């Protein structure tokens, strides 16, 4: 089945993890066997080849670069201008892959429909993977003029915050509203028709954003706080708000967001029994809450700072997402429900947004 993954940090992996995503997943992991600088070394799950093998023909691919002030313990850049420069390096990587015939930019409805037709009908073993450009955390937007520049080069979705306090909103493990710069950012996003990615917004910033923004909204990679009690997750009330906005919510596969009581460095997929069905638990919760299957999809965040050591034990590479349709069927979901989850909900959302 054709799959869409609404959250992959491809350029971060290339520039910060130094992974050539054109290489095989085995080659990527073999080159990292001697490295210890990051906990997921040698455990990568994502390559362009594995995306093709898994029939994942369209992804939302990120830029990401955090600004941090002197008091922050979070990693990041010391000025917004440095963060901007990092995102431009990430953009250059995507553009290089475009020139090599690996990626296909998706920026409007015509490009979306053309790509979907190409992916369905092409017999090319090395199909171009379509990508929609998203920015995770707005810290690198030096001023609103920079957002206009980003939109011109293809940015189509933006999450105002990531972890901790941000320049435009507050994120995971932080508190507080948007602040004086957040509302103008949302206004400019609406003007440019940039999708608001509500993922990572802390509760205060989430509700302020919902009050002051009526443009398109999705949550690219977001699980349920009812199932895993942490501020990174959304409450049922937040999900219900997203339903009213016809949002789609992508399901991530980071272990600590899928099951409670995960302890980094001690828990493993094997000793916790973590499997893809735990993600289906979150899908099912959201669908039962909504009363339909119109708001769920994939937003795996695979290799988003973690690898096989922190994702379901029945997933070796991203190609194993093809196991999910059968798992949904075993839960009683119809063929149409499964199609919606696999790709149609995201496609419908983009048709509404870009019409």
Asked if residue 126 lies in contact with residue 57, where contact means CB atoms within 8 angstroms, the answer is no
Q: What is the pLDDT of residues 211-220, one digit of tens each?
A: 999 999 999 9
Per-residue pLDDT band for 265 (boundaries 50, 70, 90) equals confident
How much of the chain is in helix, strand and coil states, percent to nearest 5?
A: 45, 15, 45
The radius of gyration of the chain from alpha carbons, rounded to an integer in Å, stands at 19
Percent of the chain with pLDDT over 70: 100
Q: What is the mean pLDDT of residues 15-32?
A: 98
Provide the pLDDT for residue 179.
82
For residue 83, what are the contacts with CB-CB under 8 A and spacing of at least 6?
65, 66, 67, 76, 77, 139, 140
Closest CA to 328 of 44, 56, 46, 3: 3
Q: Is the pLDDT of residue 71 over 90?
A: no
Q: Please say if the pLDDT value at position 70 is more than 90.
A: no
Look up the CATH number of the domain holding residue 292.
3.20.20.140
334 burial level (CB within 10 Å; 0-12, 13-18, 19+)? exposed
Sign, CA dihedral 240-167-256-93, equals positive
In sequence order, the 6+-apart residues with CB closer than 8 A to the CB of 146 are 84, 140
pTM to 2 decimal places: 0.98
Q: What is the rounded distance in angstroms from the CA atom of residue 182 to the CA atom of residue 243?
A: 23
DSSP 275-337: -HHHHHHHHHHHHHHHTSSTTEEE---TTSS--GGGS-TT-SSGGGGGGHHHHHHHTT--HHH
Task: End-to-end CA distance of the chain: give it in Å, rounded.
Answer: 25
Query: How many Å separate Cα 38 from the centre of its chain?
Result: 20
Residues 6+ apart with CB under 8 A from 221: 6, 7, 199, 250, 251, 252, 299, 300, 301, 304
Report which secondary-structure segment, H or E, holds 25: helix 25-31
The domain tally of the chain equals 1
The pLDDT, as a whole number, for residue 99 is 98
- Give residue 295's pLDDT: 98
Question: Do the Cβ atoms of 39 and 266 come closer than 8 Å?
Answer: no
Domain that holds residue 89: 3-354
pLDDT single digits (tens) 313-329: 999 999 999 999 999 99
Q: pLDDT for 29-63, tens place per residue?
A: 999 999 999 999 999 999 999 999 999 999 999 99
Contact at 8 Å (CB) between 90 and 42?
Answer: no
């Amino acid at each position: 089945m054709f799959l869409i993954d609404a959250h992959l940090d491809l350029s971060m992996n290339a520039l910060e993890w130094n992974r050539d995503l054109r290489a095989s997943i085995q080659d990527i992991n073999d080159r990292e066997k001697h490295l210890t600088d990051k906990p997921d070394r040698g455990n990568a799950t994502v390559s362009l080849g594995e995306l093709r093998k898994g029939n994942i023909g369209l992804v939302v691919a990120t830029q990401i670069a955090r600004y941090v002030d002197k008091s922050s313990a979070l990693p990041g850049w010391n000025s917004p201008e440095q963060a901007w420069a990092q995102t431009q390096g990430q953009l250059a990587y995507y553009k290089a892959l475009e020139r090599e015939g690996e990626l296909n930019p998706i920026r409007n409805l015509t490009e979306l429909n053309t790509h979907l037709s190409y992916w369905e009908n092409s017999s090319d073993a090395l199909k171009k993977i379509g990508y929609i450009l998203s920015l995770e955390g707005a810290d690198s937007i030096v001023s609103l003029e920079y957002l206009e520049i980003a939109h011109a080069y293809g940015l189509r979705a933006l999450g105002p915050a990531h972890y901790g306090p941000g320049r435009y909103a507050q994120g995971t493990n932080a508190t507080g509203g948007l602040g004086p710069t957040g509302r103008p950012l949302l206004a400019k996003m609406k003007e440019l028709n940039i999708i608001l990615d509500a993922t990572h917004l802390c509760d205060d910033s989430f509700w302020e954003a919902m009050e002051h923004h009526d443009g398109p909204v999705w949550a690219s990679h977001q699980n349920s706080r009812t199932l895993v009690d942490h501020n990174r997750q959304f409450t049922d009330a937040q999900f219900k708000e997203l339903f009213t906005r016809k949002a789609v919510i992508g399901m991530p596969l980071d272990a600590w967001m899928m099951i409670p009581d995960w302890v980094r460095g001690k828990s493993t997929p094997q000793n916790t029994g973590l499997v893809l069905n735990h993600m289906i638990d979150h899908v099912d919760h959201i669908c039962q809450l909504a009363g339909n299957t119109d708001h769920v999809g994939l937003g795996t965040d695979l290799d988003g700072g973690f690898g096989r050591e922190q994702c379901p034990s029945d997933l070796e590479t991203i190609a194993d997402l093809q196991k999910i349709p059968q798992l949904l069927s075993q839960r009683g979901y119809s063929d149409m429900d499964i199609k919606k989850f696999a790709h149609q909900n995201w496609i419908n959302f983009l048709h509404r947004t870009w019409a």
